[in-house]
């Protein structure tokens, strides 16, 4: 089937966790962008997605066809007149930020799964404008440590329940192996899919979503409620195979 727009998750889909896309991936995306709109959605902030994806694309890529949805779809950016311009941004207020940060600290104290006295790899609680992200080991923790932190998902499940109890008025998602993303209510990747469809004037039935966590409970699974076609992958190599198939059609 030929799609009119393509949406990709970032970590473990287009690239290894918090790493830039490969040269081969950049070339494949450039070919796909020559055909039509391509979007990247991630819990990460705009600057990270630009550094790891947009700035790695080869010269001559049709950047006007690239759309960035940072912070789990809480914002949308497009490339116009040689700059990235906001289409929308569901920003948290100063009061929201204060309430969320206090709730995070209460959840950490309640569960005891994070020792705030231990040094972290970068910020544990990061303000991303439209999202607050809690990273148990810090934003810059190496993947080797993140994988070992909670292999059975016990700590994450405990912390998730505590966060939901403390912050019922917000939307909370497990972002990755050690992170949690908190946004305004109703803001998630499904929201981003709907907003992109509206902005492009492309029906969701003519779009496809490629992600590594489309399984129940995964951070991509929520997009299924929109009715979008989905392609499940487990790593960037499988994503390249999917892109090659898209290009053939």
Determine contact, residues 139/121, Cβ cutoff 8 Å: yes
- In Å, how far are 98, 151, 176, 238 from 93, measured between CA atoms? 9, 35, 25, 39
Q: Residue 196: which residues within 8 A CB-CB, separation 6 or more?
A: 5, 7, 39, 67, 69, 76, 207
Asked whether 67 and 39 are in contact (CB, 8 A), the reply is yes
List per-residue pLDDT tens for the chain, 249 residues long.
899 999 999 999 999 988 999 999 999 999 999 999 999 999 999 999 999 999 999 999 999 999 999 999 999 999 999 999 999 999 999 999 999 999 999 999 999 999 999 999 999 999 999 999 999 999 999 989 998 999 998 999 999 999 999 999 999 998 878 999 999 999 999 999 999 999 999 999 999 999 999 999 889 999 999 999 999 999 999 999 999 999 998
Name the residue among 70, 53, 73, 69 with its Cα closest to residue 61: 53
pLDDT, residue 105, reads: 98
Which residues, 6 or more positions from 65, have their beta carbon under 8 angstroms from its beta carbon? 33, 34, 36, 37, 38
pLDDT (0 to 100) of residue 77: 98
94-183 belongs to which homologous superfamily? Answer: Eukaryotic phosphomannomutase, cap domain (3.30.1240.20)
Does CATH number 3.40.50.1000 belong to domain 5-90+187-248? yes
How far apart are alpha carbons 113 and 93 in whole angstroms?
Answer: 28
Q: Where are the domains of the chain?
A: 5-90+187-248, 94-183
């Amino acid at each position: 089937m030929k799609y009119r727009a393509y949406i990709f998750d970032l970590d473990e889909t287009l690239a290894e966790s918090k790493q830039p896309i490969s040269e081969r991936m950049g070339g494949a995306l450039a070919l796909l962008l020559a055909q039509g709109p391509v979007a990247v959605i991630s819990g990460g902030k705009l600057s990270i997605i630009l550094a790891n994806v947009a700035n790695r694309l080869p010269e001559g890529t049709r950047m006007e066809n690239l759309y960035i949805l940072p912070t789990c779809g809480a914002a949308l950016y497009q490339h116009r007149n040689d700059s990235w311009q906001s289409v929308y941004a569901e920003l948290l207020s100063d009061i929201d930020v204060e309430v969320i940060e206090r709730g995070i600290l209460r959840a950490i104290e309640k569960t005891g799964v994070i020792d705030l006295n231990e040094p972290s790899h970068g910020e544990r609680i990061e303000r991303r404008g439209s999202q607050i992200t809690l990273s148990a080991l810090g934003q810059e923790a190496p993947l080797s440590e993140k994988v070992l932190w909670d292999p059975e998902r016990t700590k994450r499940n405990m912390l998730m329940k505590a966060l939901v109890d403390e912050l019922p008025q917000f939307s909370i998602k497990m972002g990755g192996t050690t992170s949690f993303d908190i946004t305004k209510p109703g803001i998630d990747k499904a929201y981003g899919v709907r907003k992109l469809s509206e902005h492009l004037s492309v029906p969701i039935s003519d779009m496809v979503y490629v992600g590594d966590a489309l399984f129940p409970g995964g951070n991509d699974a929520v997009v299924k409620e929109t009715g979008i076609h989905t392609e499940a992958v487990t790593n960037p190599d499988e994503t390249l195979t999917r892109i090659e198939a898209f290009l053939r059609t």
